[in-house]
Structure 1
Amino acid sequence: MMGFKAKNQFPVDGRTVIVTGGSDGMGKAVACQLAEKGAHVVIVARTIKKLEDSFVGLKASARYPAQQRFHYISADLTSYTECERVINETTEWNNGEYPDVVWCCAGYCHPGFFVDTSMQTLRDQMDTVYWTAANMAHAVLQKWLVTVPPSKQTPNPARHIVFTSSTLAFVPIAGYGPYSPAKAAMRSLSDTLSQELEIYNGARAYRTRNRAPACDVKVHTVFPMGILSPGFDNEEKMKPELTKMMEEADKPQTPTEVARIAIKALERGEYLITTMLIGNLMKTTSLGSSPRNHAIRDTLSSWVSNLVFLKVVPDLRNQARDWGLKHGMPNSAPEH
């Protein structure tokens, strides 16, 4: 329809957003772009100096410099008590109001072959990738899902949790053994919450007689591919040559581009969000029981992508086998 504009499903103007990992890379880009849309933004990371440097750019991005407010918090989100502190400190700073959006971007990638990687690093990857997100989601849901009488239940807009996963959660690649399982766990958590939160949203549908949370709550997950950043540069130094060869189709995007695409998808109300065509093919071949953004479109895409991956999956295995035939065992392979 000419002149028709769909309703924004992710309004942030005048609302309060927490962005974890907000001092660098995608997290920093997300924070600045939400500030451009009028949000009050709290960025969270470990390193105070990086937070201070990013805070300057964040304030400069404000749509309404005189009205918007910004804050930063140094915290180690692998600790659940630290996540509770972040929510409590943000609520106090926000005049007693809970944040409206929590966007989890914290984490880093430590590539390498699974057997070559120490158990400590494998645990660190799960802590910094999965548990930072799960901790934050649990801490904020403890606040958001407190029941209130019908008189205090508001219609819209909803509150949002946004996880940042990776297309490796759909199609793993050799050399990401420490990292991709944590991203897959995040996707599974998102699918679980997408069901569980409907219990509370459903209770609100009868707010004339039920106690229920004050607002509906929605969950989303973004699945980027490579993102150009200092973290990406470090990954390239550690990444096995086989891995680089197998992911040649991955053309890294800038943090600004990834953030822009993700925010537009959130405004359309999408659930599982990819940021480039090949990522979408990876998603649709692995949808399983996940909710679809567009039932017909995603179903048709899944048929096409499953045909494509009839060749891709064996090809990935063959590339790994051929590498072994040509180069032999990895240098750090265990010996007896």
Structure 2
Amino acid sequence: MFGFTGRQVFGLAVTSVAALGFCSVFGLFKKNQFIVKGKTVVITGGSDGLGKYIAMHLAQRGAHVIIVARNKQKLNQAIEDIQQAAVNPEQRFLTVSADLTNPEDAERAISEATAFNGGNPPDIVWCCAGNCSPGFFASTPMSTHRSQMDTVYWTAAYTAHAILQKWLEPAEKGAASSSSSTPPSQPPSARHLIFTSSTLAFTPVAGYAPYSPAKAAMRSLADTLNQEIEVYNGSRLGKGPSPSADIKMHVVFPMGILTPGYENEQLTKPALTKKLEETDKPQTPDEVALITLKALEKGEYLITTTFVGMMMKASALASSARNCVVKDTILGWLANVVFLAVMWDLNKTAREWGRKMGILDATK
């Protein structure tokens, strides 16, 4: 296979399994790094799809949940389901109608969440807002390309900017955590900022030109914030002004998810794109939410929800922070060999599609 002898392939496989086992066993001894009981969580795009399922699972874990979306009717319907998942009567819930493609609305949403939380900023902000408008680059109006950046990237960027402004307000040294669930004698729990990207940020697929760049931009912003956050967390070790709690960054990279948005996406998705994805099996939003929450409890930074997604990530890690250095490094070696064939096949299929269909029909 690709110039390797059978013995070399076997050795790589054994090493990979050993690395995966090492990281899995090591993870068993880590404490939960994503405690949500008693915490206040904001979920953008929480009125349906993955965002709604995440909200329900967080409610089941005892969190106070705030969902943000544009459609008030969907918000009201969703919050009823989310409230039913609550485990105790003290949990509180709020809906905020806001257009997060507008930075002022993002600031207002975070301000309303802060007021709801007794004047303290929310502990966790999870950006799930967005949709997918597939199409070939040259065949798609530039207004759609811009709209995808607004809906996918800027909703996350505006929300992140608004919450970081709140989180970075200096606190007195030794001050208690803003969370009522943390006793004053304990260090304040870390705050979490979570982006929802896509495996398309790692591996391009023809027909996602309006969507993939926005998801890739989100990943790049997350990598940048992951470094900048070290400055803020480091300031807490000094004597000067600093935030009242550490901040942690996470990014989720799901593949296809069976949601109303996914169904709408199929209506305009090019036939070639469907062919390239024909072996993919979309996950349910419930499955993606559960896998993601388990990864967050382990403290993972870049989170994938399928084996294929994990390999796509491994092939494109570059300078991103690793979840497990040993596992991610070895998987990266393997994935980069595998994806020599994968990308060759994707390009070959696209070329053959154009030869067969002709330029007028190939992009439909």
Q: TM-score, normalised by structure 2?
A: 0.88
Residue range with higher mean Cα deviation, 154-163 or 258-267: 154-163
Q: What amino acid is the match of 1:6?
A: K
User: Which of 206, 210, 224 is the matching residue for 2:240?
Assistant: 210
1:127-154 deviation digits (Å, cap 9, x = unpaired): 0000000000000000101112213265
Q: Matched residues, percent identical?
A: 56
Separation (CA, whole Å) in 2 of partners of 1:215 and 1:287:
28
Residue of 94, 97, 107 corresponding to 1:74: 97
- Residue matched to 2:157: 134
Distance 2:360 2:254 in 1: 29
Cα shift readout 1:44-97 (whole Å, capped 9, x = no counterpart): 111011111101100000021x11000101100000000110011111111111
Deviates more, 1:322-331 or 1:120-129: 322-331
Map of 2:134 onto structure 1: 111
Match of 2:44 in 1: 20
Corresponding letter in the other structure for 1:157: S
> Is 2:220 the partner of 1:188?
yes
2:341 pairs with 1:317: no
Aligned to 1:173: 205
Distance in 2 (CA, whole Å) between partners of 1:25 and 1:105 is 9
Please give the alpha-carbon distance, in whole angstroms, between the structure 1 residues aligned to 2:269 and 2:85: 34
Secondary structure at 1:76's aligned position in 2? coil
Alignment correspondent of 1:61:
85
Distance in structure 2 (CA, Å) of the matches to 1:316 and 1:151: 56
| 1:193-239 Cα shifts (integer Å, max 9, x gaps) | 00000001011123xx2221000011100000000011100111111
2:154 and 2:282 map into 1 onto residues whose CA distance is 25
Q: How does 1:230-245 map to 2 (within 5 A)?
A: 230-245=260-275
Instruction: Map Cα deviations across residues 288-309 of structure 1 (whole Å, 9 max, x no partner).
Output: 0000000000101111111110
Deviation (angstroms), 1:21: 0.4
Q: Deviations over 1:250-291 (max 9, x none)?
A: 210000000100011001000000000000000000000000
Q: What is the alpha-carbon distance in structure 2 between the residues aligned to residue 5 and residue 318 of structure 1?
A: 46
Alpha-carbon contact 1:153-1:204 (below 8 Å) kept: no
Q: Gapped runs of 5+ residues in structure 1? A: none
Which of 77, 80, 83 is the aligned partner of 2:106? 83
In the aligned structure 2, how far is the partner of 1:119 from the partner of 1:134? 21
- Residue in structure 1 matched with residue 11 of structure 2 by the alignment: none
TM-superposed CA distance for 1:157, in Å, is: 1.2
| Structure 1: 4+ residue segments shifted above 6 A | none
CA contact (8 A) 1:137 1:161 kept: yes
| Residue in structure 2 matched with residue 10 of structure 1 by the alignment | 34
**1:181 Cα deviation after fit:** 0.1
C-alpha separation in 1, matches of 2:93 and 2:176: 27
Match of 1:39 among 63, 73, 76: 63
CA contact (8 A) 2:354 2:362 kept: no
Query: What's the secondary structure of 1:42's corresponding residue?
Result: strand
Q: In the aligned structure 2, how far is the partner of 1:16 from the partner of 1:213?
A: 18
RMSD, aligned CA: 1.4
Please, which runs of 5 or more residues in structure 2 have no aligned partner?
1-24, 178-186
Secondary structure (helix, strand or coil) at the match of 1:150 reads: coil
Q: Return the letter of the residue paired with 1:20.
A: T
Q: What secondary structure is seen at the aligned counterpart in 1 of 2:62?
A: coil
Question: Does the 8 A contact of 2:315 with 2:336 survive in 1?
Answer: yes
**Alignment-mate amino acid for residue 199 of structure 1:** V
Matching residue of 2:289: 259
Q: Which runs of structure 2 are paired with 1:292-311 in the superposition (5 Å)?
A: 292-311=322-341
